[in-house]
C-alpha cells in the first residue's frame, strides 16, 4: 500500500493539496473496490491514473465528486470534507468538472444549451453572459461553428470536446477525466488529446485523468499513479514510471498495453 509522503514531489503543505484522500475504502455489495487509497493532489498538478480494468481507478476519481460514496476513510476536496451533507456535495461538484468516457451530453439540448445549462441554473449567470463565455469555450476547443447543433449531429471527437467545454463552463478548480478517449475512433483521439494538453499546459487547474494514452501521460503528467486491485501500486513522475518502476506489476502492465 503506497504511502505518499515520499512521492509528493512538491514541498506541499496540506493547504496546497487540493485533493486529500486518506485510507479510502469502497464496497459494491461484497466486492471490495477500493482497499485503502491514500494520496494527495497538489493545486495545479496534472495526475494521470492508469491501471487494468476493475482496478478501482474509475471508482476512485468518482469518489472525488461523490458520484460514488466511500464507506471508510476521508476525502477532502479544496478544504471541504466529502460527507452526507448535500450542500457540501453540490458546492464541490460545481468546482469539479468531469468528462466521461461516453460523453454524456444532453441529447435534447443544443451544444450551446449543453454548455450554458449549469452556469445559468447553478451559478445564476445571466443568459447573454453565459452564451458569450460558452462561445469562447467552443472556440477554445475548436468547434465554434457547431454551437447550434444537437449532440447527435456531431462526431465522437466533437462531442467529447463539447463535453470538455461544458465542464469548463463552471470554471472548475479540478478537472476529472474518466477515459475520455476510450470510446473514440482512432482518428478522433488526437483532437481531444490536443484540447487536454492545452488545458494541462495552461496550469490553471488541477487535472486528474484516467487514460491509457501513454504519450499524453509522458508529455503532460506531473505524476503517474497506477491502480490495481483497489490500491495504488505505483506513484511516480513519468520518466521514472516508464524507465524505472519500483514494482514488477507496473512493468507487466506496461508490457500488456504497449
Partner 1 sequence: MATVEAWQPAPSLPPPRTETGWIGWAKANLFGNWLSGLVTVVTVPIILWAVWSMVSWLVGPADWTVITSRPQQYAIGLYPTEHAWRPLIGWLLVSILFGMAAAMWGGAARRIAIGYGVVTVLLGVLPYGMFHEGVVMPWWVRAFILGNLLTLGIGYLLGSNAKTARPRNFVLGGIAIYVLLLLILNGIPGVPGMEEVAPRKWGGLMLNLILAVSGIFFAFPIGILLALGRRSSLPVVKVLCVVFIEVFRGVPLITLLFMSQVLVPLALPANFPVDSVTRAAIVITLFSAAYTAENIRGGLQGLHPGQAEAARALGLPGWQVTMLIQLPQAIRNVIPAIVGQFIALFKDTSLVYIVGMLDILEMGRSIVQGNVQFTDNGRENLIFVAVVFWLFTYTMSYASRRVERRLGVGRR
Binding residues (CB under 8 A) for partner 1: these are 65, 67, 90-91, 93-98, 100, 102, 104-108, 110, 117-118, 121-122, 149-153, 163, 166-167, 170
CB of 137 to partner 1, least distance (A): 14
Query: Which parts of the chain fold into alpha helices (H)?
Result: 57-64, 86-95, 111-122, 127-140, 156-168, 186-202, 214-220, 238-243, 248-257
Q: Residue 83's Cα: distance from chain center in Å?
A: 20
The Cα 183–Cα 155 span in angstroms is 12
Question: Which lies closer to partner 1 via its Cβ, residue 16 or residue 68?
Answer: 68
Min dist CB 76 to partner 1, Å, is 18
C-alpha separations of 40 from 12, 22, 197, 198 in Å: 9, 8, 22, 23
Q: Report residue 212 as a C-alpha cell.
A: 491509457
* CB closer to partner 1, 12 vs 183: 183
Residue with Cβ nearer partner 1 (176 or 217): 176
Half-sphere exposure in the Cβ direction for 171 (13 Å, CA): 7
With cell 449531429, the residue in question is 153
Closest to partner 1 by CB, 157 vs 245, is 157
Nearer to partner 1, 87 or 255 (CB): 87
Closest CA to 193 of 220, 222, 224: 220
Give the whole-angstrom CA distance, residue 225 versus residue 216: 14
Q: Nearest distance from residue 252's CB to partner 1, in Å?
A: 32
Smallest separation (angstroms) from partner 1 to the CB of 201: 24
Residue 12 CB, shortest distance to partner 1, in Å, is 26
Amino acid at each position: 500500500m503506497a504511502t505518499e509522503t515520499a512521492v509528493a514531489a512538491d514541498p506541499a503543505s496540506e493547504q496546497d493539496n487540493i485533493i486529500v484522500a486518506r485510507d479510502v475504502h469502497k464496497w459494491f455489495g461484497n466486492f471490495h473496490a477500493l482497499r485503502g487509497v491514500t494520496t494527495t493532489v497538489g493545486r495545479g498538478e496534472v495526475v494521470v491514473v492508469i491501471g487494468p480494468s476493475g482496478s478501482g481507478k474509475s471508482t476512485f476519481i468518482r469518489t472525488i465528486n461523490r458520484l460514488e460514496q466511500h464507506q471508510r476513510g476521508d476525502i477532502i476536496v479544496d478544504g471541504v470534507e466529502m460527507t452526507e451533507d448535500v450542500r457540501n456535495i453540490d458546492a464541490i461538484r460545481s468546482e469539479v468538472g468531469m468528462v466521461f468516457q461516453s460523453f454524456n451530453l444532453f441529447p435534447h439540448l443544443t451544444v450551446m444549451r449543453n454548455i450554458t445549462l449549469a452556469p445559468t441554473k447553478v451559478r445564476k449567470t445571466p443568459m447573454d453572459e453565459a452564451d458569450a463565455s460558452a462561445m469562447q469555450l467552443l472556440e477554445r476547443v475548436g468547434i465554434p461553428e457547431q454551437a447550434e447543433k444537437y449532440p447527435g449531429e456531431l462526431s465522437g471527437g466533437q462531442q467529447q470536446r463539447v463535453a470538455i467545454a461544458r465542464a469548463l463552463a463552471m470554471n472548475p478548480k479540478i478537472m476529472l477525466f474518466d477515459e475520455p478517449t476510450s470510446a473514440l475512433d482512432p482518428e478522433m483521439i488526437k483532437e481531444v488529446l490536443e484540447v487536454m494538453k492545452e488545458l494541462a499546459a495552461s496550469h490553471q487547474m488541477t487535472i486528474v485523468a484516467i487514460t491509457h494514452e501513454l504519450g499524453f501521460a509522458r508529455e503532460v503528467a506531473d505524476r503517474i499513479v497506477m491502480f490495481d486491485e483497489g490500491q495504488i501500486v505505483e506513484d511516480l513522475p513519468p520518466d521514472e514510471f516508464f524507465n524505472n518502476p519500483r514494482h514488477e506489476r507496473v512493468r507487466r502492465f506496461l508490457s500488456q498495453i504497449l
